[in-house]
Amino acid sequence: DGGITQSPKYLFRKEGQNVTLSCEQNLNHDAMYWYRQDPGQGLRLIYYSQIVNDFQKGDIAEGYSVSREKKESFPLTVTSAQKNPTAFYLCASSIGGHFQETQYFGPGTRLLVL
């Protein structure tokens, strides 16, 4: 089955620790995205990638980093510089890199701070 997978489902971060969230897709989509969802707020874009080996900052990139070494994979690292990381993190993909295109979401990772 084609789709987007995210792991882990839940992730706990200790003070000062970097953690990495995994996102994999087998839809052969060119573009991938990372969003953060907080209660009462709309989805906010962290980073996006329209092509392998290239990515762009979104609205709230500070404290996060990404890589896009393979078309199928777009991992997100939450660094210790992100002071309020508790949120629901959503990975999405679209066929091309245009924002007018439909984005499909993975199941999400919930990050909690210990």
Partner 1 sequence: QKEVEQNSGPLSVPEGAIASLNCTYSDRGSQSFFWYRQYSGKSPELIMFIYSNGDKEDGRFTAQLNKASQYVSLLIRDSQPSDSATYLCAVGGYQKVTFGTGTKLQVIP
Q: Which residues bind partner 1 (CB under 8 A)?
A: 40-43, 45, 59, 90, 98-108
What is the rounded distance in angstroms from the CA atom of residue 107 to the CA atom of residue 110?
10
User: Closest CB to partner 1 among 82 and 103?
Assistant: 103
Task: Quote the least distance from Cβ 16 to partner 1, whole Å.
Answer: 28
Nearer to partner 1 by Cβ, of 45 and 52: the residue is: 45
Q: Which residues of 22-53 are buried (b: 16+ CB within 10 A; e: fewer)?
A: bbbbeeebbbbbbbbeeeeeeeebbbbbbeee
Q: How far is the CB of 67 from partner 1 (least distance, A)?
A: 22
Beta carbon nearer to partner 1, 84 or 102: 102
Take residue 37 and report the two structure tokens written for it.
């969802």
